[in-house]
Amino acid sequence: MPCSSCGKAKNIVEGYVRHIIDPKNRAAAEKFAICGKCDEITWYKIPEYIGYLAGHGLKGITGFKDLTSLPKLEKYAKGENRHPFCRICKCFLHGKTQVNDEVCPLGKW
């Protein structure tokens, strides 16, 4: 059985790859539409997000299983070079919504 940390890393990679291959996937778009209306969506620049992770001792894509327990991401508005993340699970939402076994931490999808 793969460890949950490896499983999370697998989902992150799978989500990014699926988003690149099929960015208009209908099921992902439906989930992302829910995120778009949620107060917990935020828009980070990649260096800001990396800075957040580094500030909490995370340097790679392993060990991501406990991100939900970290403090919420800051709330930023959509803007140039900003990408959608969930403030609660800290996931990149265009990737998370592409992975079938990922779920919304608030049970919205």
If one asks whether residue 29 binds ligand SF4 (CB under 6 A), the answer comes out as no
Residue 30 Cβ vs ligand SF4, minimum distance, rounded to whole Å: 12
The DSSP symbol for 67 reads G
Place of tokens 């919304």: 104
If one asks whether residue 104 binds ligand SF4 (CB under 6 A), the answer comes out as yes
If one asks whether residue 86 binds ligand SF4 (CB under 6 A), the answer comes out as yes
In 3-state terms the chain splits into helix, strand, coil percentages (rounded to 5) of 45, 10, 45
How many angstroms separate the CA atoms of 82 and 17, rounded?
19
Residue 97 Cβ vs ligand SF4, minimum distance, rounded to whole Å: 8
Question: Residue 60 CA to chain centroid, in angstroms?
Answer: 14
Residues 67, 88, 90, 99: which binds ligand SF4 (CB under 6 A)?
A: 88
How many angstroms separate the CA atoms of 61 and 51, rounded?
14
Query: Footprint of ligand SF4 on residues 31-60 (CB under 6 A)?
Result: 34-35, 38, 40-41
- In the complex, the residues that contact ligand SF4 under the rule CB under 6 A are 34-35, 38, 40-41, 86, 88, 104-106, 108
